[in-house]
């Protein structure tokens, strides 16, 4: 996907979950507790009253809160998809680690460039479904060889 979808609507759920309706027609829940804990600028969102004031920005590019706090649609979409079971950077990195793969070895195994593997591992580009399926297929093949 070259451009992430836009946010149509957002509803804050307790304690740190957003239910977001996207222009794709999907409604996905995303737990943002890790972001709130990790980044100082989100610390005010620990207050449930403030968190409950989440609104989609007028253009659909972010979720906004009072105090000029916002989270970008692209980050929220990728996190929501990852939490829904899609492959994200953490899962991709875990797959590499599970099989003891370097960037070069993963690139060779998947028939991709080292640079693209680095993008998937860091999250700077989303992991396409076909790559996730290839990873799962390779895992299954490699496990059969060991057994």
The answer to whether residue 2 sits within a structural domain is: no
Same domain membership, residue 69 and residue 47: yes
**pLDDT tens track for 51-73:** 999 999 999 999 999 999 999 99
Q: Which of 57, 83, 109 is the last residue of a domain?
A: 83
Please, are residues 21 and 7 in contact by the beta-carbon 8 Å criterion?
yes
pTM recorded for the entire structure: 0.66
* CA dihedral sign of residues 69, 44, 91, 8: negative
Q: What is the pLDDT of residues 11-27, one digit of tens each?
A: 999 889 999 999 988 89
CATH of the domain at 12: 3.30.2020.10
Partners of 86 in the β-ladder? none
Range of the domain at 67: 7-83
């Amino acid at each position: 996907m070259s451009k992430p979808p836009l946010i149509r609507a957002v509803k804050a759920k307790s304690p740190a979950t957003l239910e977001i309706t996207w222009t794709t027609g999907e409604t996905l829940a995303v737990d943002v507790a890790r972001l709130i804990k990790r980044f100082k600028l989100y610390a005010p969102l620990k207050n449930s009253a403030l968190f409950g004031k989440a609104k989609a920005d007028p253009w659909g590019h972010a979720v906004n809160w009072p105090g000029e706090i916002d989270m970008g649609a692209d980050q929220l979409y990728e996190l929501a998809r990852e939490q829904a079971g899609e492959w994200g950077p953490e899962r991709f990195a875990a797959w590499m680690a599970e099989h003891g793969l370097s960037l070069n070895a993963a690139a060779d195994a998947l028939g991709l460039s080292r640079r693209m593997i680095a993008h998937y591992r860091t999250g700077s580009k989303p992991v396409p479904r076909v790559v996730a399926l290839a990873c799962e297929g390779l895992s299954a093949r490699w496990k059969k060889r060991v057994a």
